[in-house]
A and B are shown apart, each in its own frame.
Chain A
Amino acid sequence: MERKIRILLAKPGLDGHDRGIKVIASAFRDAGFEVIYTGLRQTPEMIVEAAIQEDVDAIGMSILSGAHMTLFPRVLQLLREKGADHVLLLGGGIIPKEDVEKLEKMGVGKLFTPGTTTTEAIEYLKKAVSERRKEEKIL
């Protein structure tokens, strides 16, 4: 049997808005994923460390403070440095469209902005993780 999708949900930086991440955590759990929530005020280092220790398929970060152009690239960089770039990084928050495009080009998976349904996020995660797992098997 294929193992359940494991995702680390994290709130990086100083931002305290946690409505979105809690809603998404409940929806992911109801969808059968294994969800680990870090809580607030995590540094990129703490997040990457937890992702490796918990052996997750993906990290979901929620940022509503505007600090996304600092925090997403930093987590990507750390994942690469630690040889953990098989972990998919996705996220959501108050992120203008041009920043979404820039971050997705850098290698961040999908970024979900206000108005996204939890179903969209669930479907995306299932598809993206199963593709990544296939790639890993081929390699």
Chain B
Amino acid sequence: MLSQTTKKKIADQKEKWEKEKEKGKRLTDRKFISVSGESVKELYTPLDIEDFDYNRDLGFPGEYPYTRGIRKNMYRGRLWTMRQFSGMGTPRQTNQRYHFLLDRGQTGLSVAFDLPTLMGWDSDQPLSVGEVGICGVAIDSLEDMEILFDGISLDKISTSMTINAPASILLAMYIAVGEKQGVPSEKLTGTVQNDILKEYIAQKEWIFPPEPHMRLITDLIAFCTQHVPKWNTISISGYHIREAGSTAVQELAFTLADGFAYVEAAMKAGLDVDDFAPRLSHFFNSHLDFFEEVAKYRAARRIWARHMREKYKAKKPESWLLRFHTQTAGCSLTSQQPENNIVRTAYEALAAVMGGTQSLHTNSMDETYALPSEKAVQIALRTQQLIAHETGVANTIDPLAGSYYVEALTNKMEQEAEKYFDEIERRGGVLKCIEEGYFQREIAEAAYRYQKQVENKERIVVGINDFILEDEKVEIPILKIDPEVEKEQVRNLKKVREKRDNDKVKRSLENLKKVVQGKENTMPALLECVRCYTTEGEICDVLREVFGEYTEPPLI
């Protein structure tokens, strides 16, 4: 904290500087705003963090409130996990991509599923036509999961699965693959995204209405606490909120508000906060505004720690930690001059690392066209390896701490997020806000504002509204998914249905229905289903029958 004399000295000198600066003023009509549209001052001084208290606001890495990072030694102990989100076509094709990435030094896996899998439909169901294996890998039964992880020991690698509405089913399949490999569930490490709230808010891949879905989530948490203790049970995600057009503060606030809603739901279901909170993880976007992003991660850790300790009375330090994965911003990439996306992604990745991420996905340059080619994904992975081993930024912990700008921005992010928490509470909580379309409207308005700023040239996007190449020829390879994939997947599914024990399947589904209608934990019944090759679609049909389906009122 500044003494009155120091404060006065700085203020006087600043005033003098401001007067002199006016004389040599160069006129510009450029607006100085962040990617989120926040105005940025030309200079930050100690006056912007007058009440700064090192021990209270930052502390030491690995210590409350964790502003500087969640581990005492951070990257000097272990680098972040390099985890490329990946999946396309058949399970066999994706398995080959996994081996390609692991051979090149990737240190974790991350599964991208196709839309039918995300929505709980089998590859041969009518709504799946044209979508099988297109934006991710198609998974129908345990057999597909066995192929997906062929030659990969589940006790040696951690796997993140971007799966939400049917998360319990895919986790059950993963556990069953482990059983076949002789790896007990206690040894499995990884994450299911399992964040349904942000689906209603932004990503829109839901199946069931919020209330019954919250039960599936608390069942999964309770089950993992006992049987899969090293598993991250939810990856509370801001990524999709940001991609849908939110500002950095909205991403921060809405994500953490979702997180608190899960904490409250699990506590209400009778779980002890310290039993499940250490296994909650987070997932943020990294957009192009370098300092704004770094401040966002630092603020996120501080807010989470404070709320978990003060409000939810968690006692274990592990419950206070905000561990997070980062993905660079897909929405910042351009189709025009796609090679420039390599540079954008590198800056975004650097912000994630300077912000203390635990794992990272770097986008490939070609992702405004299709899923990445081998060449493009290799460059994306190399970008992380370059940051880790060549730039030196991982040598010291939280290197931007103490910057007047970064600290002021971190404080501001925290204050703005707190305002949103109050507003959400005033409106009746997260579920109510979803129902009333509050988050959806806030995000859509921010997205439209951003678009208008680009069109008015209030912000410059290279290759879009300035530095354009006329008659540009895009010369990068684009990955195509063969339409044969769908036919092959449907053929394989048919074979699975023929060779499995269909009486067992029928019984497993009947038992599931009984469990779902009652109050028992759903996970054991789901495991019984997947073990006998009951398909994801068949399981979801039962759940849809009991829970009903969610539809969103079209809001614009």
- Which residues of A have CB within 8 Å of B454? 117
Q: Using an 8 Å CB-CB cutoff, how does the interface string of A67-104 with B read, 1 for contact, 0 for none?
A: 10111000000000000000000000010110000000
Query: Is A105 an interface residue, CB under 8 A from the partner?
Result: no
- Closest Cβ of chain A to B144, distance in Å, is 18
Query: Is B127 an interface residue, CB under 8 A from the partner?
Result: yes
Q: A14-B118, A19-B447, A25-B556 are in contact. Are A97 and B474 (CB under 8 A)?
A: yes
Q: A67-B130, A67-B134 are in contact. Are A22 and B448 (CB under 8 A)?
A: yes
B204 touches A23 (CB 8 A): no
**Interface range for A:** 35 or more
Q: Which of B124-150 contact A (CB under 8 A)?
A: 127-131, 134-135
B451 touches A22 (CB 8 A): no
B478 touches A117 (CB 8 A): no
- Given A23-B447, A27-B451, A115-B336, list of 14 further CB < 8 A pairs? A13-B127, A17-B244, A18-B244, A19-B331, A39-B553, A40-B552, A65-B135, A66-B131, A67-B130, A94-B370, A96-B369, A114-B333, A117-B455, A119-B455
A15 touches B552 (CB 8 A): no
B115 touches A94 (CB 8 A): no
A66 touches B134 (CB 8 A): yes
Q: Lowest 10 A-B CB distances belong to which pairs?
A: A70-B130, A16-B204, A39-B554, A14-B115, A66-B134, A67-B130, A25-B556, A22-B444, A114-B335, A67-B131
A19 touches B369 (CB 8 A): no
Report the bound CA distance from A26 to B441 in whole Å: 12
Among residues of A, the one whose C-beta sits closest to the C-beta of B465 is A117
Report the bound CA distance from A93 to B208 in whole Å: 27
Which residues from chain B sit less than 8 Å from chain A, CB to CB?
Answer: 115-116, 118-119, 121, 127-131, 134-135, 199, 203-205, 243-245, 331, 333-336, 368-371, 444, 447-448, 451, 454-455, 463-465, 474, 478, 480-481, 483, 551-554, 556
Query: Is A5 an interface residue, CB under 8 A from the partner?
Result: no
- Which residues of A have CB within 8 Å of B243? 17, 19
Q: A14-B119, A23-B447, A115-B335 are in contact. Are A37 and B556 (CB under 8 A)?
A: yes
Q: Using an 8 Å CB-CB cutoff, how does the interface string of A18-62 with B read, 1 for contact, 0 for none?
A: 110011011101000001011111010000000000000000000
- Closest Cβ of chain A to B140, distance in Å, is 15
